[in-house]
Structure 1
Amino acid sequence: MAVTDTLGLPNTKGRRPLIVAQVVDALGTGLFLPFAVVYFHAAKGIPLTTVGLMLSTGALLSLPAGPLGGRLIDRFGPRGVLVASNLIRVLTFTAYVFTDTPWQLVLLVTATLWGDSLFRPAVFALVAQVADDGHRARWYAMDRSLRNAGIGAGGLVGSTLVGWGGTSGYTAVVALNAVSFLLAAGLVATWRRTAAPRPAGDGADQAQPQPQPPAPAGEAPQERRGGYREVLADRAFLGVLATVGVFALCDLALTLLLSAYVIEARGLPAWQPGMLFAINTVMVVLAQTALAKAVERYRRPAVLQVAAVLWMVSFGLFAAVPGDHTGLAFGGLVLGMVVFTVAELLQAPTSSALIVGMAAEHLRGRYLGSEELMWSLARVLAPTVFTWLLARGAGLPWLALCLCCLAAIVVLRRLHRVLPAHVQRETVDA
């Protein structure tokens, strides 16, 4: 346990099948993620502009999935929603193999994105149930680290398959992704908790015997008492949601903005973004859990403020890189990426733990569903906003993100004053 604690890892006894399920899911996602656009173009013969329209349409149509998933989680529990999200993607990725009609693919993309949007709040809610007291941020950090490692490994396998098999390789990638979702669903569905019961009120798994009256069909005992009206009445949570939207835009800048900025706006070599992404992935895998442990004694709004400041520093470094000196520019980009990743490592588990800590147990799914909605909105807006700003000035996207971070700092400062102490910082077991 000493080594585990030093690395910032939570106690996983009795919960290892859930961890394996996450790794399997991440491996499958990594297989397909780098080829999400290219697959439909190269394997299905659909023009790139049509592919972009398909993906944007699917993203718009999937916006209600997060809030609906939150309601389902509160009603039936996160395990069932998590299994359902994986089974949805088993069906859609299997169906990808057998159709090349754009309108049918739009429906499948939309269903896939619904599965994605159900998956994320369900995972966070299930972690909130199984995590030991005071260690939720560690679980979220470990989950993120494992997912990055799995996606990276899956990407390498997927690249090998595509390079070796061409169109057949793309088909193999899609089929293996479907298999990974099926295996993950089976692991979660068949897992039975064997760890010692947690203290009352900490959200123990509803599917297991608990020292309380049973709820029908996995329904949360207090589910009928509240809904999204109660969530929206929580003004402090609305402030947190505003910061979630800002941080989502900051995070998406890595995948949607940085490559275009480096290659198109600064005219730097095309190999540089790949190296920057590799630095980010390695840092997340190696440092996420240890950093989450290091800051768990601090108040969460303060940690998030530090993350926002670090993001502003990283954006300033990105904006300042010269386009006429490749070596100097790469050095600045690497420094900016290191600072960016530290901000990301601070923000991701802390935001999740803060939202779960704010939510009453019977509304936890709805709180997490609202967080997912903010991420979905950011995914819809970011491509258009980033490219529009970039077309009008290389530094404008970074300036806009800095202003957004500044607004988040102001909101977090107010939350620091109004949130209860137990929400701002969990008590960590010795």
Structure 2
Amino acid sequence: MTLIDALGLPQTRGRVPLVLAQLVDALGTGLFLPFAVVYFHAAKGVPLATVGVMLSVAALLSLPAGPLAGPLIDRFGPRRVVVASNLVRVLTFSGYVFTDVPWQLVVLVTVTLWGESQFRPAAAALVAQVADGGQRARWYAMDRALRNVGFGAGGLLGSALVGWGGSPGYTAVVVFNAVSFLVAAALVAAWSRAAAPVASGPGPGSAPAGDGPGTGRAGYREVLADRAFRGVLVTVAVFGLCDLALTVLLSAYVIEARGLPAWQPGTLFALNTLLVVLGQTAVARAVEHRRRPRVLQAAALLWTVSFGLFAVVPGEHGALAFAVLALGMVVFTAAELLQAPTSSALTVAMAGERLRGRYLGLEELMWGVARVLAPALFTWLLAKGPGLPWLALGLCCLAAVGVLCRLDRVLPAHVRRETVGG
């Protein structure tokens, strides 16, 4: 067994530019993401309340982007859509530097989110094309690990720039982010499929070697007629809410609802990032011979356990509270490590190449719905009672387990037989 195989990494020979593009993209995003709200407030002078409304409106307006990406991916191929979405974000982040008018910023943020929402399904479809047979989940796992490395490194670099340069430091963060998208676009555009070895025996649902458009003509009506995939979309929405609980809910719960020290959420986020970086590819390798619905059921049950732990955190005992939160975060991360590479692999396996963009576009739509719902839903439940958001999430996860049990019976035979690595 080679070291690459032992670590759960995919074969990347001939695909190094794509790996570098993933890392550069994540580094740039990590530069800006922690400072998005503060940037518009501190560097542009927009009131915080207005910033919140601005970002919510932009997120709502960008919901159609995922479904609209589907036909583009199927017609022009995922590589072209990845390059185009990166170039769109080069333009919008460059535009941030030159305006401080709120309505113009709303337009720029909306177009940025459109680029992001088209990038994600296109990147997933590109992975499906370039992965050797049986290694898709490993590629999705490596992408997630690289993104966490990039987010962490970018966040540290961004903090240094802001701390050193003040308002000009914020501008530098935005400029560097624009440059990172440009470099990522250039790397993907320059990569040639001919440089990669031929994949070994594509299985059912696998893509042919080319980067061109899918054959045939079909629309979303055919995708939505897939009853099994409608069930998958339900689980995607639930898992989207679970994932967003970390960034949207946890800090407010720990600091405001439980009155715990402000250092605890940051430490928990760091623990999550470290576990993802160290464990994502190894976990993907460990479960790659398991059937996908079963792996997703395990993820949902682990999330239910983690939410139960978060709900019973004792606010009056700081050390004990942190121990329970840390244990909950370990279980939460274990669920993430199982779900993240498996969900996309399941969607790709169900789609085949002809409709792959549309399937992934609808998956992105469900993530967009979760991103719109999560802030309002979580804060409303938190105001009603500290444990209510976690209870609601746990019940959603148990419902997802039921949906996945049914899916395991109604999936097409070739998809049901495939394992995570398929």
TM-score in same-fold range (> 0.5): yes
Alignment of 1:26-175 (within 5 A): 26-175=26-175
- Paired residue type of 1:251: D
Match of 1:391 among 374, 383, 389: 383
1:69-111: CA deviation from partner (whole Å, max 9, x where unpaired): 0110001000010000000000000000000000000000000
Question: How far does residue 265 in structure 1 lie from its aligned partner after superposition?
Answer: 0.3
The alignment's TM-score, normalised by the length of structure 2, stands at 0.97
1:248-283: CA deviation from partner (whole Å, max 9, x where unpaired): 000000000000000000000000000000000000
Q: How far apart, CA to CA, are the structure 2 residues paired with 1:204 and 1:112?
A: 31
1:327 aligns with 2:313: no
Q: How far apart, CA to CA, are the structure 1 residues paired with 2:214 and 2:420?
A: 26
Q: How far apart, CA to CA, are the structure 2 residues paired with 1:315 and 1:14?
A: 42
- Paired residue type of 1:91: L
Alignment of 1:202-213 (within 5 A): 202-207=206-211
1:26-76: CA deviation from partner (whole Å, max 9, x where unpaired): 000000000010000000000000000110010011000000001100010
Aligned residues: 418
The secondary structure found in structure 1 opposite 2:8 is coil
Match of 2:272 among 251, 266, 280: 280
- Paired residue type of 2:280: Q
Distance 1:129 1:427, change over 3 A: same
Q: Which moved more, 1:236-245 or 1:1-10?
A: 1-10
Question: How far does residue 203 in structure 1 lie from its aligned partner after superposition?
Answer: 1.2
Question: How far does residue 427 in structure 1 lie from its aligned partner after superposition?
Answer: 6.2
Q: Equivalent residue for 1:271?
A: 263
Task: State the identity %.
Answer: 75
Q: How far apart, CA to CA, are the structure 1 residues paired with 2:233 and 2:132?
A: 25
Q: How far apart, CA to CA, are the structure 2 residues paired with 1:34 and 1:50?
A: 18
Match of 1:219 among 213, 220, 232: 213
Q: How far apart, CA to CA, are the structure 1 residues paired with 2:311 and 2:421?
A: 43
Q: How far apart, CA to CA, are the structure 1 residues paired with 2:413 and 2:13?
A: 29
Q: Equivalent residue for 2:197?
A: 196
Question: How far does residue 191 in structure 1 lie from its aligned partner after superposition?
Answer: 0.4
Q: Equivalent residue for 2:337?
A: 345
Any conservation in 2 of the 1:138–1:349 contact (CA below 8 Å)?
A: yes
Any conservation in 2 of the 1:30–1:152 contact (CA below 8 Å)?
A: yes
| RMSD between superposed Cα atoms in Å | 1.4
The secondary structure found in structure 2 opposite 1:257 is helix
Question: How far does residue 428 in structure 1 lie from its aligned partner after superposition?
Answer: 8.7
Any conservation in 1 of the 2:289–2:421 contact (CA below 8 Å)?
A: no
Alignment of 1:12-27 (within 5 A): 12-27=12-27
Please, which runs of 5 or more residues in structure 1 have no aligned partner?
Answer: 208-217
Q: Which moved more, 1:193-202 or 1:273-282?
A: 193-202
Q: How far apart, CA to CA, are the structure 1 residues paired with 2:349 and 2:133?
A: 11
- Paired residue type of 1:177: N
Any conservation in 2 of the 1:134–1:426 contact (CA below 8 Å)?
A: no
Alignment of 1:382-421 (within 5 A): 382-421=374-413
Question: How far does residue 424 in structure 1 lie from its aligned partner after superposition?
Answer: 3.6
Q: How far apart, CA to CA, are the structure 1 residues paired with 2:124 and 2:268?
A: 28
Any conservation in 1 of the 2:58–2:106 contact (CA below 8 Å)?
A: yes
Distance 1:312 1:277, change over 3 A: same
The secondary structure found in structure 1 opposite 2:90 is helix
Question: How far does residue 421 in structure 1 lie from its aligned partner after superposition?
Answer: 4.6
Please, which runs of 5 or more residues in structure 2 have no aligned partner?
Answer: none
1:357 aligns with 2:360: no
- Paired residue type of 1:63: L
Alignment of 1:277-316 (within 5 A): 277-316=269-308
The secondary structure found in structure 2 opposite 1:351 is helix
Distance 1:37 1:425, change over 3 A: farther
Q: How far apart, CA to CA, are the structure 1 residues paired with 2:213 and 2:249?
A: 42
